[in-house]
Protein backbone atom coordinates (compact mmCIF):
# COMPACT_ATOMS: atom_id res chain seq x y z
CA UNK A 1 0.00 0.00 0.00
CA UNK A 2 2.47 2.62 -1.25
CA UNK A 3 0.19 5.70 -1.53
CA UNK A 4 2.13 8.55 -3.14
CA UNK A 5 5.71 7.78 -4.17
CA UNK A 6 8.23 10.46 -5.09
CA UNK A 7 11.63 9.97 -6.65
CA UNK A 8 14.35 10.90 -6.07
CA UNK A 9 14.45 11.64 -2.35
CA UNK A 10 17.45 13.95 -2.68
CA UNK A 11 19.07 15.76 -5.59
CA UNK A 12 21.84 18.29 -6.03
CA UNK A 13 21.97 20.25 -9.27
CA UNK A 14 24.21 22.92 -10.67
CA UNK A 15 22.67 26.12 -11.96
CA UNK A 16 21.38 25.59 -15.47
CA UNK A 17 21.01 21.83 -15.24
CA UNK A 18 17.66 20.20 -15.85
CA UNK A 19 15.86 17.40 -14.07
CA UNK A 20 12.48 15.77 -13.66
CA UNK A 21 10.87 14.93 -10.34
CA UNK A 22 8.67 11.88 -10.53
CA UNK A 23 5.44 11.23 -8.66
CA UNK A 24 3.16 8.22 -8.80
CA UNK A 25 0.05 7.29 -6.82
CA UNK A 26 -1.69 3.94 -6.61
CA UNK A 27 -4.99 5.09 -5.10
CA UNK A 28 -6.85 5.70 -8.37
CA UNK A 29 -6.95 9.43 -7.61
CA UNK A 30 -7.97 11.87 -10.31
CA UNK A 31 -6.32 15.04 -9.01
CA UNK A 32 -2.62 15.53 -8.37
CA UNK A 33 -0.58 18.48 -7.12
CA UNK A 34 2.99 19.73 -6.87
CA UNK A 35 3.96 21.97 -3.95
CA UNK A 36 7.22 23.50 -2.81
CA UNK A 37 7.99 24.03 0.85
CA UNK A 38 10.36 26.79 1.94
CA UNK A 39 11.21 27.85 5.48
CA UNK A 40 8.82 30.51 6.76
CA UNK A 41 6.65 30.29 3.66
CA UNK A 42 4.64 27.13 4.15
CA UNK A 43 3.53 25.16 1.12
CA UNK A 44 2.95 26.89 -2.18
CA UNK A 45 1.19 25.29 -5.11
CA UNK A 46 3.29 25.07 -8.28
CA UNK A 47 1.00 23.17 -10.66
CA UNK A 48 -1.91 20.83 -10.40
CA UNK A 49 -3.77 18.37 -12.56
CA UNK A 50 -7.47 18.12 -11.85
CA UNK A 51 -7.79 15.01 -14.00
CA UNK A 52 -5.84 12.97 -16.51
CA UNK A 53 -5.05 15.11 -19.54
CA UNK A 54 -5.34 18.49 -17.80
CA UNK A 55 -2.82 20.68 -16.03
CA UNK A 56 -3.09 24.17 -14.55
CA UNK A 57 -0.80 26.71 -13.00
CA UNK A 58 -0.77 27.29 -9.27
CA UNK A 59 0.66 30.12 -7.25
CA UNK A 60 4.34 29.79 -8.28
CA UNK A 61 4.62 28.12 -11.72
CA UNK A 62 7.52 30.09 -13.20
CA UNK A 63 10.54 27.96 -14.03
CA UNK A 64 8.60 24.70 -13.96
CA UNK A 65 6.71 22.46 -16.36
CA UNK A 66 4.55 19.45 -15.63
CA UNK A 67 3.28 16.37 -17.40
CA UNK A 68 0.33 14.22 -16.40
CA UNK A 69 1.65 11.10 -18.06
CA UNK A 70 -1.36 8.98 -17.14
CA UNK A 71 -3.76 8.73 -14.24
CA UNK A 72 -1.05 7.47 -11.89
CA UNK A 73 1.89 9.71 -12.74
CA UNK A 74 2.49 13.45 -12.54
CA UNK A 75 6.01 14.73 -13.16
CA UNK A 76 7.59 18.12 -12.48
CA UNK A 77 10.41 19.36 -14.70
CA UNK A 78 12.97 22.05 -14.08
CA UNK A 79 14.39 23.00 -17.49
CA UNK A 80 17.17 25.28 -16.22
CA UNK A 81 17.59 25.07 -12.47
CA UNK A 82 18.26 28.20 -10.44
CA UNK A 83 19.38 28.57 -6.80
CA UNK A 84 15.93 30.05 -6.02
CA UNK A 85 14.50 26.62 -6.77
CA UNK A 86 16.31 25.07 -3.84
CA UNK A 87 13.42 23.68 -1.84
CA UNK A 88 11.58 20.59 -0.70
CA UNK A 89 9.05 19.48 -3.29
CA UNK A 90 5.91 17.56 -2.39
CA UNK A 91 3.52 15.72 -4.60
CA UNK A 92 -0.04 15.16 -3.37
CA UNK A 93 -3.18 13.53 -4.66
CA UNK A 94 -6.89 13.22 -3.96
CA UNK A 95 -9.74 11.41 -5.64
CA UNK A 96 -11.42 14.65 -6.70
CA UNK A 97 -10.16 18.22 -6.38
CA UNK A 98 -13.49 19.33 -4.98
CA UNK A 99 -13.62 16.65 -2.29
CA UNK A 100 -12.62 18.83 0.66
CA UNK A 101 -14.16 16.22 2.93
CA UNK A 102 -11.23 13.97 2.05
CA UNK A 103 -7.58 14.57 2.93
CA UNK A 104 -4.79 15.29 0.51
CA UNK A 105 -2.35 12.37 0.40
CA UNK A 106 1.26 13.54 0.33
CA UNK A 107 4.47 11.89 -0.73
CA UNK A 108 7.56 12.09 1.48
CA UNK A 109 9.14 14.85 -0.57
CA UNK A 110 12.20 15.50 -2.72
CA UNK A 111 14.92 17.71 -1.26
CA UNK A 112 16.49 19.67 -4.10
CA UNK A 113 19.58 21.82 -3.78
CA UNK A 114 20.72 24.01 -6.66
CA UNK A 115 24.27 25.35 -6.37
Residues that bind other proteins (CB under 8 A): 4, 31, 33, 40-45, 48, 50, 56, 58, 90, 92, 94, 97-98, 100-101, 103-109
Judged by beta carbon, residue 13 or residue 94, the one nearer other proteins is 94
Let me know the angle formed at the C-alpha of 113 by 108 and 115, rounded to the nearest 5 degrees. 175
CB of 78 to other proteins, least distance (A): 20
Q: Which is nearer to other proteins, 72 or 106 (CB)?
A: 106
Query: How many Å apart are CA 90 and CA 108, to the nearest integer?
Result: 7
d(CA 22, CA 113) in angstroms, rounded, equals 16
Give me the least distance between CB of 37 and other proteins, in Å please: 9
Contact status, residue 65 vs residue 85, Cβ threshold 8 Å: no
Shortest distance, CB of residue 32 to other proteins, whole angstroms? 10
The smaller minimum CB distance to other proteins, of residues 78 and 94, is found at 94
- For residues 49 and 74, is the Cβ–Cβ distance under 8 A? yes
CB of 39 to other proteins, least distance (A): 9
Look at residues 34, 87, 107 and name the one whose alpha carbon lies nearest to residue 65: 34
Closer residue to other proteins (CB): 17 or 106: 106
Amino acid sequence: NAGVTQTPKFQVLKTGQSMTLQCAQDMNHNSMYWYRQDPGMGLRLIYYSASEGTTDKGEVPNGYNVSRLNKREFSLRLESAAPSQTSVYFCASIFDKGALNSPLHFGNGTRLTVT
